[in-house]
């Protein structure tokens, strides 16, 4: 209510009326805006756009009438003269041999070993039957021969005769979708070969099935608000592409089709995906990214070819191929999410990256696609691009002028902040020499095909998976899959009293709280407290990638009650444990990973190794899913607070370890280690999160981490992370705000690379005035002779400062 004082005078009454009117208009305007953004109005507006531009002609799915002549000439005249092009064409076009039409498969539900086998058999029959219709439709388009058109009609009419109802969709949604998608393509491509009566029959079947699909998936998603991730959305999200393709194929033939197409397109434009965001990540992992994106991209590429490409300009679609590029090594490697224990880059994934390269005209993606896999798909699996997609892709690549570029110019590490995944590389894209660590602390928790693995890591190096995400999936939610593969116990993570994070829970979240990289380092921090909410008040893991050679980790844990803590590591092969030094060795072919725990000290951990799964792989799957090896380093005594300070050093088998040594350094604050290897001498420091202080052997750092690497008497590297202050007997830095600085000392030249510049004052110790300074304006630095330091007034644009010292100013006169 308005205050009574507003009624005292006429002006106040007038102002009160004006206020009420304004409030009413604001409400009405807001209500109208909301109404204008309702799903129904969004769909109507989009239908108007489509109806003005979409021509009533066939084909229109990935092929257009105006390019048919060029496509036919390429496929039937050019391709057969090139290498195995003739073989490809023979594989694509099946013989007309009166092949028996398969009976409709039974819709058996998944969930048991026997049921899963029947469930897979059902969707395989459905997929094969649909693809036969599509292949004959392709043959009709390429040759114009009536016999192929008649055969396409025979298979389409057979598919139309199947009794597909809501129960089939509910019981085996894969059988439903895998017959439907190729059937839609076959109808569109063979449209001119069908009689009016045949079109009516097939169209009626497609319309009824697409309506079932729309009724199933549209209530799960909104065009005007995002959908919270849960365990029921993985398949429905993928199926949106089929609804869109169906709406496009039947646009001028079914009254419901325009709304299906408009709704699907607008969902991709406004809300897609559930499992990621602008950075391009996919929280379910690489397998579900690739198998889903093949479906999504077929629809979006079809729309782009018709002139509707605004979806592909969204940040997610411009970035998502980089998610695959940074996490899928160009060899069988380990990653996060379902079915990515050790995942090889398939021809389908490579073609997916290549498609994005062409659609976005990105030469880097074009190069990496060919690094992943030089071959194209040749089969007809539903979960991958097939041989028809290959023919279309080869046709389109021949028409591009895009040239591939190597990846050296790109950042070696990348943080996908939408899903909380970090990829660290030493030589991105170089199979023989790259060291890669993947780290995860995801806001999507363990929902859907994500696992209970916040703050876990994998390491792949020199062409081999070393520290892996353990476990298999014989079938979805088998005892082994649910009890082991999904669990924290199967990951390179932490257990508290033998317990991990809850599975299938969107609330079991993690988050990346820091990510920074420079020329010689990457540093990230994951906070998994929410994922361990039943057991812990703190669950931090800091990962420091030093000199693109090795990793140093600090785990900070605080339990709700005194507990024992387990630090876990998993590998394909048996590991070598030396409990007297807290060391673990992993060897796989020519690659090695040496792991050493410096804290707790030797004698304070109990090591256990086993190759048993709990629960085991189901009988009959053992050969395809061999046992893996699991090491647990458990604290002997119960405590509320516990830290693990560890070194993980990947190297080649032919690198001698005789000269290598690593030891813990005494530290009154934080943690420190000394490492000598490959002729290089290092010191590495990491602070506790709440302290942000390191005090060790004459070094003081007020910040998150630091590294000193001395190469010889004339060269050294130094890194400080989120630091305000560094003090030593040979170099001191002081800043008003935390900075990430990569410092190179070479002779008389000091180079400071600032990773995340900001406006602040930085003071650098210097005995005498420098000879010269570059990288900042002359007005933005001065030499303070009273305090023997250079004072810089940094701007947010300051990236690199180079200081040239005088003869007597060398800073390399220090000893470790």
CA distance 715 to 169: 67
Average pLDDT over residues 152-176: 97
The CA–CA distances, whole Å, from 262 to 232, 234, 301, 414 equal 23, 21, 15, 35
In sequence order, the 6+-apart residues with CB closer than 8 A to the CB of 393 are: 351, 354, 355, 376, 385
DSSP state of 283: T
Number of Cα atoms under 13 Å in the Cβ half of residue 124: 7
SS3 593: strand
Per-residue pLDDT at 810: 47
Domain spanning 420-654, CATH class:
mainly beta
| pLDDT greater than 90 at residue 14 | no
Per-residue pLDDT at 531: 98
Q: Please give the share of the chain, as a percent, with pLDDT higher than 90.
A: 85
Task: Report the greatest alpha carbon distance in the chain.
Answer: 97
10 versus 193: the higher-pLDDT residue is 193
Neighbours of 1 (CB within 10 A): 4
On the question of a common fold for 276-410 and 420-654, the answer reads no
**Predicted confidence (pLDDT) per residue in 704-732, tens digit:** 999 999 877 778 899 999 999 999 877 89
- By mean pLDDT, which of 87-91, 183-187, 354-358 is the weakest? 87-91
- By mean pLDDT, which of 266-270, 475-479, 607-611, 726-730 is the weakest? 726-730
The CA–CA distances, whole Å, from 637 to 467, 562, 600, 603, 606 equal 27, 9, 11, 11, 10
User: For residue 110, what pLDDT band results from cuts at 50, 70 and 90?
Assistant: confident
In sequence order, the 6+-apart residues with CB closer than 8 A to the CB of 425 are: 326, 412, 413, 434, 435, 436, 548
User: For residue 815, what pLDDT band results from cuts at 50, 70 and 90?
Assistant: low
| pLDDT greater than 60 at residue 812 | no
**Predicted confidence (pLDDT) per residue in 544-567, tens digit:** 999 999 999 999 999 999 999 999
β-strands 536-546, 456-461: how paired? unpaired
Give which of 642, 640, 426 is closest to 548, Cα–Cα: 426
- Residue 666: Cβ-neighbour burial (10 angstroms; 0-12, 13-18, 19+): exposed
Supply 126's token pair. Answer: 């459905």
CA distance 712 to 237: 57
Q: Where are the alpha helices (DSSP H) in 306-386?
A: 315-327, 347-360, 363-372
Per-domain residue ranges of the chain:
4-36, 276-410, 420-654, 656-816
Average pLDDT over residues 628-644: 98
CA distance 377 to 375: 7
Backbone φ and ψ of 27, nearest 5°: -65, -45
DSSP state of 787: T
Which of 1.50.10.100, 1.10.3720.10, 3.10.180.10, 3.30.70.3290 is the CATH number of 276-410?
1.50.10.100
User: For residue 34, what pLDDT band results from cuts at 50, 70 and 90?
Assistant: very low
- By mean pLDDT, which of 30-44, 198-212, 270-284, 673-687 is the weakest? 30-44
551 versus 91: the higher-pLDDT residue is 551
Query: Contact 460/496 with Cβ under 8 angstroms?
Result: no
Q: Where are the alpha helices (DSSP H) in 225-346?
A: 234-249, 257-270, 286-305, 315-327
**Predicted confidence (pLDDT) per residue in 222-258, tens digit:** 999 999 998 999 999 999 999 999 999 999 999 999 9
CB-based burial, 491-513: b 16+ in 10 Å, e otherwise:
bbbbbbeebbbbbbbbebbbbbe
CA distance 567 to 555: 9
Supply 352's token pair. Answer: 């997916």
DSSP string, 421-477: EEEEESSTT-TTT-EEEEEE--TTTT-TT--S-TTEEEEEETTEEEE------SSTT
In sequence order, the 6+-apart residues with CB closer than 8 A to the CB of 691 are: 669, 670
Average pLDDT over residues 678-683: 85
């Amino acid at each position: 209510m308005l205050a009574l004082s507003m009624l005292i005078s006429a002006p106040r009454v007038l102002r009160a009326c004006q206020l009420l009117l304004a409030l009413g208009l604001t409400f009405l305007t807001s209500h109208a805006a909301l109404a204008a953004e309702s799903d129904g109005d969004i769909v109507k507006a989009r239908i108007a756009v489509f109806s003005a531009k979409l021509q009533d002609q066939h084909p229109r799915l990935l092929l257009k009438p105006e390019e048919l002549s060029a496509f036919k000439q390429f496929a039937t005249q050019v391709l057969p003269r090139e290498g195995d092009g003739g073989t490809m064409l023979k594989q694509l076009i099946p013989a007309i041999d009166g092949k028996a039409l398969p009976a409709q498969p039974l819709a058996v539900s998944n969930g048991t070993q026997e049921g899963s086998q029947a469930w897979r058999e059902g969707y395989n029959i459905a997929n094969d039957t649909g693809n036969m219709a599509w292949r004959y439709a392709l043959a009709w388009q390429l040759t114009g021969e009536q016999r192929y058109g008649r055969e396409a009609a025979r298979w389409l009419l057979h598919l139309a005769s199947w009794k597909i109802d809501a129960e089939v969709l509910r019981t085996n949604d894969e059988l439903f979708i895998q017959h439907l998608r190729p059937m839609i393509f076959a109808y569109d491509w063979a449209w001119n070969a069908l009689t009016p009566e045949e079109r009516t029959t097939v169209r009626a079947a497609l319309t009824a099935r697409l309506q079932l699909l729309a009724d199933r998936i549209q209530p799960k998603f909104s065009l005007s608000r995002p959908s919270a991730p849960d365990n029921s959305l993985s398949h429905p999200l993928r199926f949106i592409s089929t609804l869109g393709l169906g709406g496009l194929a039947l646009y001028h033939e079914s009254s419901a089709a325009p709304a299906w197409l408009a709704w699907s397109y607008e969902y991709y434009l406004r809300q897609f995906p559930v499992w990621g965001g602008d950075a391009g990540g996919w929280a379910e992992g690489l397998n579900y990214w690739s198998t889903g994106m093949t479906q999504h991209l077929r629809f979006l590429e079809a729309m782009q070819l018709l002139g509707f490409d605004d979806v592909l300009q969204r940040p997610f679609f411009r970035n998502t191929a980089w998610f695959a590029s940074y996490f899928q090594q160009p060899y069988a490697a380990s990653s996060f999410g379902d079915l990515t224990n050790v995942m090889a880059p398939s021809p389908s994934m490579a073609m997916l990256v290549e498609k994005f390269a062409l659609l976005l005209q990105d030469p880097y993606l074009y190069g990496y696609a060919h690094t992943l896999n030089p071959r194209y798909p040749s089969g007809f699996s539903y979960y991958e691009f097939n041989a028809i997609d290959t023919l279309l892709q080869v046709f389109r690549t021949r028409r591009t002028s895009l040239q591939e570029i190597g990846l050296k110019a790109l950042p070696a590490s990348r943080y996908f902040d939408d899903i909380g995944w970090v990829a660290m590389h030493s030589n991105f894209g170089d199979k023989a020499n790259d060291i890669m660590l993947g780290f995860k602390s995801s806001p999507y928790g363990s929902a859907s095909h994500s696992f209970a693995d916040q703050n876990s890591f994998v390491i792949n190096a020199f062409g081999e998976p070393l520290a892996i995400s353990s476990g298999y999936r014989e079938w979805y939610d088998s005892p082994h899959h649910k009890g082991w593969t999904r669990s924290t116990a199967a990951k390179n993570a932490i257990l508290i009293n033998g317990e991990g994070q809850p599975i299938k829970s969107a609330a079991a979240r993690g988050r990346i709280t820091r990510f920074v990289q420079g020329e010689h380092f990457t540093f990230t921090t994951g906070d998994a407290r929410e994922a361990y909410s039943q057991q812990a008040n703190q669950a931090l893991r800091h990962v420091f990638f030093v000199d693109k050679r090795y990793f140093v980790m600090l785990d900070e844990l605080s339990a709700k009650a005194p507990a024992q803590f387990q630090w876990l590591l998993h590998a394909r092969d048996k590991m070598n444990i030396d409990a007297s030094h807290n060391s673990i060795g992993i060897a796989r072919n020519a690659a090695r990973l040496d792991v050493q725990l410096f804290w707790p000290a030797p004698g304070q951990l109990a090591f256990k190794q086993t190759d048993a799964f709990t629960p085991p792989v189901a009988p009959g799957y053992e050969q395809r899913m061999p046992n893996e090896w699991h090491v647990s380093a458990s604290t002997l005594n119960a405590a509320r607070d516990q830290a693990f300070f560890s070194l993980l050093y990947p190297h080649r088998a032919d690198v001698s370890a005789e000269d290598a040594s690593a030891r813990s350094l005494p530290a009154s604050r934080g943690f420190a280690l000394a490492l000598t290897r490959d002729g290089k001498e290092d010191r590495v420091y990491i602070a506790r999160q709440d302290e942000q202080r390191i005090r060790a052997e004459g070094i003081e750092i007020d910040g998150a981490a630091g590294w000193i690497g001395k190469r010889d008497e004339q060269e050294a590297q130094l890194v400080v992370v989120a630091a305000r202050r560094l003090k030593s007997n040979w170099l001191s830095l002081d800043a008003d705000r935390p900075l990430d600085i990569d410092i190179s000392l070479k002779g008389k030249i000091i180079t400071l690379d600032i990773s995340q510049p900001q406006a602040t004052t930085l003071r650098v110790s210097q005995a005498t005035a420098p000879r010269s300074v570059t990288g900042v304006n002359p007005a933005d630095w001065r030499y303070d002779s009273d305090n023997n330091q250079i004072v810089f007034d940094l701007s947010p644009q300051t990236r690199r400062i180079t200081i040239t010292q005088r003869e007597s100013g060398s800073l390399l006169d220090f000893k470790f």
